[in-house]
């Protein structure tokens, strides 16, 4: 399983764009990158997933460079309600049933300030 | 549409007592999971069920047992609770066990073992 490294915490102000980078130097050819968001007292919520280049949805964008050794979650114009922990997961989507692909790290605590 | 429902929300046990955490999903998902979350440690996979009739160990299975009762329900049992099992327990489900099938989480059970 590709080990991931994220910053422990980040602060931002309302209206700013926030970029959270996840390092995964040992990512394998079949590994996908998935990001989740967790609010206090709730379970994590899926945000976005990608394999290479750029993926965008209504919530965020995910940038993955050509070497795929890192990825960046970009949240446009954050608000106070975006304060949460963000987790990066990397795993082989074809290895069905492999428990190791479902491991969350400690995540990044994003605090949005007024 | 309730999604993933966990009961109870809170529980206090004494060391050595047993209990079962219940989880049900109404999304017709094939795969279900149990995680525990401890401060500063992210989420760790306890057990999972890739499909009805199968269960497999995750990262931290010791002290736990699971039952996939049917497609909807996946229970977690603590036979003899220990203080080290004080944690927040999350149940999740996904359409399939592969990584590109997003996990849907319940809101957790906060368990304290004294």
Whole-number mean pLDDT of chain B? 92
pLDDT of residue B8 exceeding 80, the answer is yes
Contact residues of A toward B, CB < 8 A = 31-32, 34, 36, 41-46, 49, 87, 89, 91-97, 99-107
Compute the distance between CA of residue B41 and CA of residue A106 in angstroms, rounded to an integer: 5
Mean per-residue pLDDT, B29-46: 88
| Residue from the list A43, A101, A106 with its beta carbon closest to the beta carbon of B105 | A43
Label residues B42-79 b or e (16+ Cβ within 10 Å = b): bbbbbbbbbbeeebeebebbeebebebeebbbbbbebe
Closest by alpha carbon to A28, among A55, A1, A53? A1
What mean pLDDT comes out for the span B63-89? 96
Q: What's the CA gap between B63 and B48, in Å, rounded?
A: 15
Of A46, A91, A104, the CB nearest to B42: A104
CB contacts of B109 in chain A (<8 Å) are none
Q: Which of B42, B59, B107 sits opposite A107 (nearest CB)?
A: B42
d(CA B25, CA B73): 7
Q: Across the interface, do A46 and B99 touch by the CB < 8 Å criterion?
A: no
Locate the chain B residue with the closest alpha carbon to A9: B40
Asked if B33 has any chain A CB less than 8 Å from its own CB, the reply is yes
- pLDDT, one tens digit for every residue, chain A (114 residues): 567 899 999 999 999 999 999 999 988 888 888 999 999 889 999 999 999 999 999 999 999 999 999 999 999 999 999 999 999 988 765 554 555 456 677 899 999 999
Number of CB pairs < 8 Å for A and B?
73
Give the pLDDT mean for B88-103. Answer: 84
Residue located via tokens 């999304």: B27
- Residue B64: pLDDT band (50, 70, 90) is very high
Cβ(A32)–Cβ(A46) below 8 Å: no
Contact (Cβ atoms closer than 8 angstroms) between residue B86 and residue B112: yes
Q: Under a CB-based contact definition with an 8 Å cutoff, are residues B73 and B24 in contact?
A: yes
What is the per-residue pLDDT for A101? 56
Backbone phi and psi for residue B83, each to the nearest 5 degrees, phi listed first: -55, -30
């Amino acid at each position: 399983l590709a080990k991931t490294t994220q910053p422990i915490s980040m602060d931002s102000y309302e209206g700013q764009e926030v970029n959270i980078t996840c390092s995964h130097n040992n990512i394998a050819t079949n590994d996908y990158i998935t990001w989740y968001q967790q609010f206090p007292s709730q379970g994590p919520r899926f945000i976005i997933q990608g394999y290479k280049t750029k993926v965008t949805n209504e919530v965020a964008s995910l940038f993955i460079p050509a070497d795929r050794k890192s990825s960046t979650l970009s949240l446009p114009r954050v608000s106070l309600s975006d304060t949460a922990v963000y987790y990066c997961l990397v795993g082989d989507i074809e290895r069905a049933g492999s428990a190791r692909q479902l491991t969350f790290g400690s995540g990044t605590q994003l605090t949005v300030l007024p | 549409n309730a999604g993933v429902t966990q009961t109870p929300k809170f529980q206090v046990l004494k060391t050595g007592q047993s209990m079962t955490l219940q989880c049900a999903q109404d999304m017709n998902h094939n795969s279900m999971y149990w995680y525990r979350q401890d401060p500063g440690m992210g989420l760790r996979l306890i057990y999972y069920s890739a499909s009805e009739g199968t269960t497999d160990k995750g990262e931290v299975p010791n002290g736990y047992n699971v039952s996939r009762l049917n497609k909807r329900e996946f229970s977690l049992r603590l036979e003899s609770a220990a203080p080290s099992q004080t944690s927040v327990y999350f149940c999740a489900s996904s359409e399939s066990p592969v990584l590109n099938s997003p996990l849907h989480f319940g809101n957790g059970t906060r368990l304290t073992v004294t």
